[in-house]
Structure 1
Amino acid sequence: MAPTNKIKLIVLSSVSPPPGSVPATSLPLTFLDLPWLPFPPGQPLFFYHFPISTLQFTQTVLPNLRHSLSFTLQYFFPFAGKLVLPPEPNKPFIEYTEGDSVSLTVAESDGDFSYLSGDGQRKFEDLHCLVPKLPDGEKDSLLAIQITVFPGCGICFGFALRPVVADGRTFDNFLKMWASLTRKNGGEDLHCSASIHDRSVIHDPSGLESTFLKEWWKIKKSEEKELLHSTCSNFHDMVRTTFVLGRPEMEKIKKWILLHGSKHMLLSPYVLTCAYVWVCWMKTHWPIDEDSEKIHYFGFIAGGITRMNYPVPTSYVGNCVAFGRLGAIRKDLMAENGIVYAAKVIGNTIKKLDGNVLGGAKNWISEWKILLESELHVTITGSPKLKFYSLDFGWGRPEKIEVSIDEMRAISLCESRDVVGGIEIGLTLPKSKMDRFSSLFIKGLNNLF
């Protein structure tokens, strides 16, 4: 099936911080950055209803966006820098020199904006062409941006961001500063909280850096590094769909769990959503009576800012997140009370991270490798806490957000745009499996009570 969203490149450019605003800088990777080295770029999309022609956009809107992006990059200059991978055993680092830039592309689409920015099934390849490619070079670029104009309908901001440079919190800070400056028409008198790049704010009392470096070099020297770069290879059969769990649905799930499980379980909206989606995912992919003793893995990201036993500024530019990983037996997840079991093991893992966010951290890279090598896994990306739907560049909040469309057996979560307290769930699957997942998702909620 041919793609229905054709893209025409209009402007190819690059944006640097203002001349002289940032000295040449070399930033070492901390032990919290290193685990992200093998991972591919995140690919978020932000759709805005903004009826404008391509010519109007390039002449009246783009100059302000470029100017405000340049000013923002002086606070987030690592995004314009390069990832340097020196020979073993040296540690990778981020290097910024005068003139380093972020690739900014403007494109035009003849696709259906309402369809692409909706919740229903959309061709993966139609969304994928809205994501920029990071420029090739001797050193790895870290961020690229593509703005696609749907003439008379709207625009889409697409990003390719290497996770080694920033976690979701840092990326959110970057976007909100850029948007705020754009709303003020590039006004540089805006009060900007100073971003912190000092790597000494991240402490490594257990010497995890050396452990992670050894693991990274093992991956780097082998073909296994390609494992973490896997993505959708059969684009034409893949579809992207968004589901929403609101408070009433979460209460139904919670009521069921309390009726059939312990009253002392952690049942936050995040846990309820993850548990329900995981069980639906399991029933979509695996027959109930096949290899019932198989262990399935579930991975997610846990924020570290509030979990470290020392203060880390929220304006710190870099990674401050931990990994959560757990395993569960297939027959327990597929049973009548599979949601109860899923919620229990997910909640218990979060409790452990709350108590000791770096507990078991020495195995982060090796465990993620095990998880991603196995077909019996699912990972969660994104966080409902980031409030991406508040991102306003001057033409209103986003019509739709895709946290990351990269497949990798990942399910993305973000806050709901229109349902108060709700969570949007995004996933990419072959169409036949998406139809089954959708049926299970809807019927499961109807059958709880």
Structure 2
Amino acid sequence: MGEAAAVSGDAGARARVRVLAVSRVAPSPAPVERERVGLSFFDTPWVVLPPIQRVFLYETAAAADGGGGDGFAAAVERLKGSLAATLALYLPLAGKLVYVEETEDVVVDCAAADDADSGVAFVEAEAEDAAAEAMDVRRLAGDEAHDVAAFLALVPELDTRALPAPVLSVQATRLGGGAGLALGLSVHHAVADGRAVWQFMEAWSSAARVGSPVTKSLGAPHYRREMAIPQPDGGELARHMLNNDNVCNFARNKTTGVIGRPAGAPCMLRGTVVVTGDCSAIVA
């Protein structure tokens, strides 16, 4: 259906995976009304940062007949169904980050169910045959150093360089002839931090494991900013930080609501360092 360039802009990642399908997963049950969640002054500086990216690697039974009977399609359907149930609790993750010109605020727009582009982009992909060894699930999960491009190919695109911007995208990639599955996420940093992402993943995995509703095992999250930050002038402070180039290092176009930031990332390697023995003498 497409090349891996649709997944990652990195030149080294283009030849690694092939996009099979792109669909949208909306919250289920769907929200009745459109809701907007404002950003606090703690959230605003993160508007211009690159998204949080996570990759989860799963080893599966390899296809015995060579005909793709490895359960990838069934796993994708299970992931989609449980994601829809989880998004019903985490509505901001299914929305978009938008600029409101009238108030000069940036908010999360949790679109109503009848919006054509509501929900989360879900990419289905597979590793190309030529990259089978490089994209082997055990190799990727190993401790040796890897080119970051190998991991970038497993996370979906989430363009946060301008508003409106999606909050979450998901990618499921079939690895090594069906011997593995990679689940990649890209999350807008202004809406969720590391802890929030792990809380969402805990809820999603619970829904995939025991079914819906997720609230049977986990309570609904609180994302009301006024509940956590009782600051009388918090909204004005958030707008001040949004307009302050020295604080946030970005430029805002008040007419179009476009927020820009420098693009590009250095070429890096990623690896695991195993530390054994007495670590008390190690100084960070």
Superposition TM-score, scaled by structure 2 size: 0.76
Q: When the two structures are aligned, how many residues end up with a matched partner? A: 248
For residue 215 of structure 1, what is the aligned residue in structure 2?
Answer: 241
**Shift in Å at residue 19 of structure 1?**
4.3
**Shift in Å at residue 156 of structure 1?**
1.1
**Shift in Å at residue 14 of structure 1?**
1.1
1:167 corresponds to 2:193: yes
Amino acid paired to 1:243: V
What is the alpha-carbon distance in structure 1 between the residues aligned to residue 196 and residue 12 of structure 2? 37
In structure 2, the CA distance between the partners of 1:208 and 1:146, relative to structure 1 (3 Å rule), is: same
What is the alpha-carbon distance in structure 2 between the residues aligned to residue 174 and residue 117 of structure 1? 22
What is the alpha-carbon distance in structure 1 between the residues aligned to residue 69 and residue 34 of structure 2? 36
1:231 corresponds to 2:265: yes
For residue 109 of structure 2, what is the aligned residue in structure 1?
Answer: 95
**Shift in Å at residue 114 of structure 1?**
2.3
Amino acid paired to 2:155: V
For residue 73 of structure 1, what is the aligned residue in structure 2?
Answer: 87
Larger radius of gyration: 1
What is the alpha-carbon distance in structure 2 between the residues aligned to residue 212 and residue 167 of structure 1? 18
In structure 2, the CA distance between the partners of 1:118 and 1:216, relative to structure 1 (3 Å rule), is: same
Amino acid paired to 2:265: T
Percent identical among aligned pairs is 25
In structure 2, the CA distance between the partners of 1:60 and 1:221, relative to structure 1 (3 Å rule), is: closer
Describe the SS at the equivalent of 1:173.
helix
1:29 corresponds to 2:29: no
**Shift in Å at residue 5 of structure 1?**
6.2
1:47-446 to 2 correspondence within 5 Å? 47-53=57-63, 55-87=69-101, 90-99=104-113, 100-109=118-127, 110=132, 111-134=135-158, 139-150=164-175, 151-184=177-210, 186-188=211-213, 190-205=216-231, 207=233, 209-217=235-243, 218=245, 219-221=250-252, 225-227=260-262, 229-232=263-266, 235=267, 238-246=268-276, 248-253=277-282, 272=283, 275=284
What is the alpha-carbon distance in structure 2 between the residues aligned to residue 211 and residue 125 of structure 1? 38
* Aligned-pair Cα RMSD in Å: 2.9
What is the alpha-carbon distance in structure 1 between the residues aligned to residue 43 and residue 237 of structure 2? 13
Amino acid paired to 1:182: A
| Contact 1:5/1:126 (<8 A) preserved | no
What is the alpha-carbon distance in structure 2 between the residues aligned to residue 220 and residue 84 of structure 1? 15
Structure 2, gaps ≥5 residues long: 1-10
**Shift in Å at residue 224 of structure 1?**
10
What is the alpha-carbon distance in structure 2 between the residues aligned to residue 198 and residue 221 of structure 1? 26
What is the alpha-carbon distance in structure 1 between the residues aligned to residue 178 and residue 171 of structure 2? 18
In structure 2, the CA distance between the partners of 1:168 and 1:33, relative to structure 1 (3 Å rule), is: same
What is the alpha-carbon distance in structure 1 between the residues aligned to residue 30 and residue 178 of structure 2? 39
In structure 2, the CA distance between the partners of 1:106 and 1:211, relative to structure 1 (3 Å rule), is: same
Describe the SS at the equivalent of 1:160.
strand
